[in-house]
Amino acid sequence: MNESMTKSTHSRIEDFLATLRTALNGAGGRPDDIVEEVRADLIDLIDRHRSQGASDEEAVSRALQSMGDPHELAHHVRREVPPFGGLVASTIRYALAGVVIIWTLLFLWNFRALSYGAAGLATTIGVALFHLPVVLLLWPRMVWRKNWLFGLIPAGIAFVVALFLAGGGVTGTGHDPLDSQISHSLSSAMSSGVAGPEQVPLDSPPAIVEPEGPSLPAILAFGAAVLASGVLLVAMQQVRQRRWVIVAALIPILLVEIPFQIEESFFRREVEKARAHPENGGNLNWGRPLYPSAFLYLSADGRIRVQD
Amino acid sequence: MSRVSTSRFSTELVRSCTDLVVLALLRNRPMYGYEILVNLADRGNGEFEFQQGTLYPLLYRLEREGWIAGSWETPTTGKRRKIYSLTAEGQKAERARSKEWTRFTRAVESILEECNHE
């Protein structure tokens, strides 16, 4: 602060800045930055008025008048500064988003290995669609609009509802939702005990137990909730950030779905070979190279199953 | 939000072009908040005088849009300042809005001229 200023003018400036700081109410985690920026400009403005012949009191009065009411200024600033955008909050949000991305990919990898073909693609899309909103919410400066409707609270409620419905829809029946999975341990069925990408004849093929999937209303409720929360969050996004939705959606496709699709194309070749030689029994048991504990199983009646 | 002396321009008119004028100023060189205000007033023939307090929400919005970036700098002689510069996206936005504004003002002028001759 200018040394020539009187105590009262200095005090008026500090009062203004203190009121502003309080009214900013955390504003995106950077109220100190904002107050310091205002302080620097305020002093310039005061100096300018003084250089034009105003007294200290007049210069401060005119400068403060130009700044307006600190509460109103804080109100307008808060509308423009996204919440939780400070350095510490942003770092935590980046870290959490990274954890969610890694966890989603690992979860998806394990889940995808237990499905096949179109069901596998549906699994990838389902898991990605469900986790994408979480990443969007966590990533700083990605989702935010100043309309109250697009605040964090409605988004959080939408997400919790989706989570609740997802939990009820997927686990409500107590069964794995994958209809391609056989609830039978391969190891107990295989007499040879050999597992690998090569054909392994089975002395006694595993019994096929059709798992009971989630009910249709549960699936519809889950789909609707995920879609609604996804649409809400995309609508909340900064327009220029929307391309990252496409990038985020492509990551699981590129890192999980495509490798499994390539792997399955190799399995289909083995299936063709097995079908060309029905005299060998027509069975095929093929360990997944990408997930050694899962097997793709071609039964004699031509059905393809995945088993763990 | 933009408050400019209403005896000069209407609030609606100013609001429609505040983004553009600030982006255009920063196209030439980075500036800090107060410097932007002074330049707006000087280059706008004194007609374009913002209230200081209206500038910050505008700058933070442009920053949030990714069109400008603010960084704290301390020159060897002078005070610590938050300097704003145009980002690559901001340059694109400035060019697009500038073209849009030129087309718009020409269209308005054309209509006004036609009407004045009728």
pLDDT exceeds cutoff 80 at A233: no
- Which residues 23-82 of B are in CB contact (within 8 Å) with A? 32-34, 37-38, 51-54, 56-58, 60-61, 64-66, 72, 79-82
Structure confidence at residue B33 as a pLDDT band (50, 70, 90): very high
**Which phi and psi angles does B69 have, rounded to 5°?**
-130, 135
Q: How are beta strands A304-307 and A181-182 bridged, if at all?
A: parallel
CB-based contact A172:A133 (threshold 8 Å) = no
d(CA A36, CA A18): 11
**Can you give the pLDDT at residue B6?**
43
Residue that wins the pLDDT comparison between A178 and B3: B3
Q: Report pTM.
A: 0.63
**Can you give the pLDDT at residue A175?**
37
What distances in angstroms separate CA A165 from CA A213, A292, B117, one per listed residue? 15, 32, 67
Instruction: Please report the number of interchain residue pairs, chain A to chain B, with beta-carbon separation below 8 angstroms.
Output: 68
**Can you give the pLDDT at residue A165?**
55
**Can you give the pLDDT at residue A176?**
38
**Can you give the pLDDT at residue A162?**
58
Residues of B in contact with A69 (CB under 8 A): 53
pLDDT in tens, A81-92: 877 777 788 889
What domains can be seen in chain B, in order of their start residue?
Answer: 11-117 (1.10.10.10)
**Option in B53, B64, B66 nearest A66 (CB):** B53
Classified as helix, coil or strand, B50 is strand
Which of A30, A76, A79 to mutate: most B Cβ within 10 Å? A76
**Option in B33, B64, B81 nearest A82 (CB):** B64
**Option in B37, B65, B79 nearest A40 (CB):** B79
Structure confidence at residue A137 as a pLDDT band (50, 70, 90): confident
Which of A17, A66, A243 to mutate: most B Cβ within 10 Å? A66
**Option in A34, A45, A240 nearest B34 (CB):** A45
pLDDT in tens, B85-111: 999 989 999 999 999 999 999 999 999
Q: Nearest chain A Cα to B55, which residue?
A: A67
**Can you give the pLDDT at residue A144?**
63
**Which phi and psi angles does A106 have, rounded to 5°?**
-65, -45
**Can you give the pLDDT at residue B25?**
94
**Can you give the pLDDT at residue A80?**
81
* pLDDT (average), residues A6-32: 84
pLDDT in tens, A195-220: 444 444 444 444 444 445 567 777 77
